[in-house]
Structures are given as structure tokens and as C-alpha cells.
């Protein structure tokens, strides 16, 4: 077992260095010492693209995607509400695994009930979603779910493996340090064609949604993050129950329901999380501060 792991490591190291020198395309079908490099190179590509993309590059990618979102729906202009959401978001982000990225939180002026994230730390919640929430802990739950999408790089991975736009793997390849090593240059921002492809990918991705496993993962992350930040994790179950109550309701949920597992499924899966199994889970709800901050 150890020998196999060592062999894998050697081949991986060789392929990474070769790739840096030679470029990915030339390596396809290469045979080194009896090992087929193809699958290793593809695995290497996957690793390099999503995981070792520089923060700078990730922020540029996210900025393109976030700009597409606010292009579809403008930001709410109420300063007090925006500042409040940003404070809750920032407090949560300090407890996340990526507290140092430039998190930005915003309310989208839209009656539909929804929330979105983009790589690099962008988190949005619609005014429609805010309208059905009743406490700061509930708001924190929604934001914590989106924060988890960012910390687990769900959107980056989705763009990488999406083949609908036809240019998926090109996008991140063009942006990553891997490609830079090839060209010998420093990261200097997105090229025009890459930027355009990202906008195109964003449109599809936000309209279609992430993998359902990513959504369940984000729910789990939300519960843990709420507890870390001192909020009552049960408030997030309350949010999902409110969404469940509106499944057959008067509208405003179409896109959310299309892009997520059903609220009922989400509650079922989430309730298995340890914070909900423990009998000593406590935390703040802060309904009064929520009400007064959104006046």
C-alpha cells in the first residue's frame, strides 16, 4: 500500500513539473515508466484548478459572477438595512475557515425569496427573503449557508466541471497559476474572452443551481457556523420550515425551488447534524434587534 502511494506521489510530482514546463495538452497520452500520465494529469488539473487558484484570481472570477447577479437585480438602496446585513455577515465570516478573504454582503432588491454566493466572498440575500425572516439568527442562517458555498468553493467546482457552456475547463485553466507557470507570467487579471465566458457560465449556473449535495453540505456548514458565532442553530431549521410552508404558496419561490432540494428533504438531512442531536445546544435569536434594524 505504501509503495503504491509513493509511486503515485512520484508520478504526480513528475506530471506537475512536466505540466509546468510543457503545458497540459502535450502530455495527453504520455507514458512514463509504465504509468499512463493521462488520468494523473486530469486529476492534477482538477486539483490545481479549484484548490490552488490564487485568491486574487478567485476574487476576479467571483467579481464577474457577482456583477452578473446585480446586473439581473439591483441592490437595495436602504443604507441602514445593508449595513446591518453586512455586520451580521462579517461577524459570521470571522468564524469561517476563510476569515481573511474580502467578504462582501448585500441585499438584492427583489421580491423573490432567494440568496446567492459567488467565489471570493460575495454573498447576497433578496429583500423578498428578508421579508419572511423574523430574527437575526434566521438571517445569520441564510448568510451562513452562502458563506459555506464560498468556503467550500462550490461555484468554482461547478464552473470547472460544467460542460453546458462548452468552454468550462478552459475558463479556470486560463485563470489559474498553473497556466501562468506555463506562460511564465504573473497573474494580471482576467482576459476579455475569459471574462465573457465567466458571465455566460454564471447565467447558466445561477439559473440551474449547484449540485444538491453541495446544498446539503452548505446547510450543514450553516448549522456549525451559527453555533460558532453564538447564534441559535435551531433558527435555521425555522427558516427551512418557513420555506416548506411556502412551497405551495403564492409564488416568489420558483427559482429557489428549482435550484435547491425541497425544504422537506433539507430539514430531514440537516436534522441529523450533531448540533441538533445535542441537548445542550444554545444560542442567541435576537428577534428584537432584527426588527428594529430593518425599520
Partner 1 sequence: MRHSIRNSIIKLIISAVMTTIAGVSANQPGQLVTNADLKKEPSTKAKTVSELKRGDSVEILSREGGWYATQADKKSGWVRMLHIRMLGNDASTTSQTTSSVFSAGRGQSAIATGIRGLTEENLKNANADFNELKKLDAWQADSKSAETFARAGKLNSKGAKK
Taking CB under 8 A as the binding criterion, the range among 21-29, 50-58, 214-222, 236-244 that sits at the site for partner 1 is: 236-244
Tell me the three cell numbers of residue 294.
430593518
Q: In this structure, are residues 210 and 158 in contact, taking their beta carbons and an 8 Å threshold? A: yes
Smallest gap from Cβ 153 to partner 1, in A, equals 17
247 contributes a contact to partner 1 by CB under 8 A:
yes
| Count of alpha carbons within 13 angstroms of residue 86, beta-carbon side | 14
Bridge partners (DSSP) of residue 146 are none
Buried b (16+ CB within 10 A) or exposed e, 230-267: ebbbbbbbbbbebbeebeeeeebbebbbebbbebeebb
Smallest separation (angstroms) from partner 1 to the CB of 110: 5
Classify the C-alpha dihedral 240-228-272-232 as positive or negative: negative
Considering only 24-32, 170-178, 182-190, 243-251, which stretch makes contact with partner 1 by CB under 8 A? 243-251
Quick check: 132 binds partner 1 (CB under 8 A)? yes
- Closest distance between partner 1 and the C-beta of residue 30, in Å? 39
Q: Is 73 in the site for partner 1 (CB under 8 A)?
A: yes
Q: Give the orientation angle of helix 192-208 with respect to helix 168-175, to 10 degrees.
A: 130
If we measure between CA atoms, which residue out of 173, 200, 251 comes closest to residue 71? 200
Map residue 106 onto helix, strand or coil: strand
Residue 96, interface with partner 1 (CB under 8 A)?
Answer: yes
What sign for the dihedral angle of Cα 276, 290, 216, 39?
negative
Whether 217 contacts 210, CB under 8 Å? no
Of 24, 157, 178, 234, which one interacts with partner 1 (CB under 8 A)?
234
Q: Which of 142, 171, 175, 286 binds partner 1 (CB under 8 A)?
A: 286
188 binds partner 1 (CB under 8 A): no
Please give the DSSP secondary-structure letter assigned to residue 170: H
Residues 142-161 close enough to bind partner 1 by CB under 8 A: none
| Closest distance to partner 1 from the beta carbon of 232 (Å) | 6
Nearer to partner 1, 173 or 275 (CB): 275
Beta carbon nearer to partner 1, 42 or 82? 82
List 19, 127, 148, 176, residue binding partner 1 (CB under 8 A): 127
Q: How far apart are CA 198 and CA 159, in angstroms?
A: 8
CB proximity list for 140: less than 8 A, separation 6 or greater? 88, 92, 226, 229, 231, 235
Q: Does 192 bind partner 1 (CB under 8 A)?
A: no
Q: Which stretch binds partner 1 (CB under 8 A): 24-32, 38-46, 177-185, 271-279?
A: 271-279
**Smallest distance from partner 1 to CB 60, Å:** 12
* Per-residue contact flags (x/-) with partner 1 for residues 8 to 47, judged by CB under 8 A: ----------------------------------------
Q: Is 237 in the site for partner 1 (CB under 8 A)?
A: yes
101 touches partner 1 (CB under 8 A): no
Q: Does 90 bind partner 1 (CB under 8 A)?
A: yes
Amino acid at each position: 500500500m505504501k509503495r503504491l502511494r509513493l509511486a503515485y506521489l512520484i508520478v504526480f510530482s513528475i506530471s506537475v513539473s512536466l505540466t509546468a514546463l510543457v503545458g497540459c495538452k502535450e502530455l495527453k497520452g504520455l507514458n512514463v515508466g509504465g504509468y499512463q500520465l493521462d488520468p494523473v494529469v486530469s486529476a492534477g488539473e482538477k486539483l490545481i484548478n479549484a484548490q490552488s487558484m490564487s485568491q486574487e484570481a478567485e476574487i476576479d472570477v467571483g467579481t464577474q459572477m457577482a456583477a452578473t447577479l446585480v446586473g439581473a437585480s439591483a441592490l437595495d438602496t436602504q443604507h441602514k438595512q445593508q449595513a446591518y446585513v453586512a455586520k451580521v455577515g462579517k461577524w459570521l465570516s470571522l468564524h469561517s475557515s476563510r476569515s481573511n478573504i474580502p467578504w462582501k454582503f448585500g441585499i438584492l432588491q427583489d421580491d423573490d425569496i432567494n440568496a446567492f454566493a459567488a467565489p471570493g466572498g460575495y454573498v447576497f440575500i433578496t429583500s423578498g427573503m428578508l421579508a419572511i425572516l423574523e430574527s437575526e439568527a434566521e438571517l445569520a442562517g441564510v448568510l451562513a449557508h452562502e458563506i459555506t458555498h464560498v468556503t467550500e468553493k462550490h461555484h468554482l467546482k461547478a464552473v470547472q466541471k460544467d460542460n453546458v457552456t462548452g468552454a468550462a475547463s478552459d475558463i479556470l485553466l486560463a485563470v489559474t497559476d498553473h497556466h501562468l507557470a506555463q506562460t511564465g507570467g504573473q497573474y494580471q487579471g482576467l482576459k476579455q474572452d475569459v471574462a465573457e465566458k465567466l458571465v455566460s457560465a454564471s447565467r447558466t449556473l445561477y439559473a440551474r443551481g449547484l449540485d444538491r449535495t453541495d446544498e446539503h453540505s452548505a446547510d450543514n456548514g450553516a448549522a456549525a457556523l451559527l453555533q460558532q458565532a453564538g447564534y441559535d442553530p435551531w433558527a435555521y431549521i425555522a427558516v427551512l420550515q418557513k420555506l416548506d410552508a411556502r412551497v405551495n404558496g403564492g409564488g416568489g419561490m420558483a427559482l429557489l425551488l428549482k435550484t435547491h432540494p425541497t425544504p422537506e428533504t433539507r430539514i430531514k438531512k440537516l436534522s441529523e447534524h450533531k448540533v441538533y442531536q445535542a441537548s445542550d445546544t444554545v444560542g442567541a435569536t435576537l428577534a428584537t434587534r432584527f426588527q428594529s434594524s430593518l425599520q
